[in-house]
Structure 1
Amino acid sequence: MSNLIRRDPFNELLRGFFIRPVDFATSDDLEGPKMRVDIEEDAAAYRVHAELPGMKKEDIHVHIDGPVVSINAERKQEKEVKEGERVLRTERYFGTVSRSFQLGQDIDEGGASAKFNDGVLELTLPKKAPVQTRKLSID
């Protein structure tokens, strides 16, 4: 009856902590990477810079609908394992990322241009000329 065993749950929890790496995944890590964008404006156009590292330009799609711009990109997994090799850890993200945002004015789709260089998508989106209101004279 006097054989009480004293346990320290905190010590038992940390016993293997410094031996094995522990990965504390956050909710952002589980969702995948986010597309970072910078948007600039001048009198004639909007300029958008979107970071898409590791993407191929063939896998990036931009859609313009009035003032709404949508960017979609997909990174496909290229799995190449050689004989005798084994993968110990994979941290690179494979899948799709997308981003939509609304600008203050409609975009002239015909004059819009896009460049992709060093993992950065650069969009030049000219503003559509505002529609002039017209006053009708009554005869």
Structure 2
Amino acid sequence: MSKLARYDPFSLSRIDPLEDIDDLFKGFFVRPVAFEGRPQMQIKMDVKESDDTYTVHADIPGVKKDDIHVSIDGNQVSISAETKEEKEEKKGEKVLRSERYSGKVVRSFTLAHDVDEAKAQAKYSDGVLELSLPKKAVSSARKLAIQ
């Protein structure tokens, strides 16, 4: 006859430590960790395509024009913006709540066609960055004569 054991739900001897650690961290690295009380700045965009140009409208409110940088590398476009925290406290005044973001945010995306960097234009007005990104002319194939 086999040995009978009484079930104890609080016993640590039945726990497989490797399996339980996997369950503990499952999904932990799937989402980035957000710090409570700190607002997150995001760049929200609309990208439109016509026959010869991409037009991008990116919402970047509260950022100075000089703190926005756009880089183009072939069909890869990156937009970065940085805001600096300004601390000004007067005597007898304390900050009860601060929801304004300070830091750096970057947004990159890939387009279907290469962009002509020389003809690209950018305008920033009322918190909206507008990019006009002309498509690079496709070079036509050249037929070589065999000698």
SS at structure 2 position matched to 1:121: strand
Find the counterpart in structure 1 of residue 46 from structure 2. 38
| Alpha-carbon distance change, 57 to 39 in structure 1, aligned in 2, over 3 angstroms | same
Point out where structure 2 has 5 or more consecutive residues left out of the alignment. Answer: 1-30
Point out where structure 1 has 5 or more consecutive residues left out of the alignment. Answer: 1-25
Q: Pairwise mapping of residues 45-84 of structure 1 onto structure 2 (< 5 A)? A: 45-84=53-92
* Identity across the alignment (%): 54
Q: How many residues align?
A: 114
Taking structure 1 as the reference length, the TM-score comes to 0.77
Q: Cα deviation per residue 1:37-65 (whole Å; 9 max; x = unaligned)?
A: 10000011000011000000000000000
Q: How far 1:133 moved relative to its partner?
A: 1.2
Q: How far 1:34 moved relative to its partner?
A: 1.7
SS at structure 1 position matched to 2:96: coil
Structure 1 stretches of 4+ moved >6 Å: none
Greater displacement, 125-134 / 29-38? 29-38
Find the counterpart in structure 2 of residue 103 from structure 1. 111
Find the counterpart in structure 2 of residue 126 from structure 1. 134
Q: Cα deviation per residue 1:110-139 (whole Å; 9 max; x = unaligned)?
A: 100000000000000000001211111112
Q: How far 1:27 moved relative to its partner?
A: 6.1
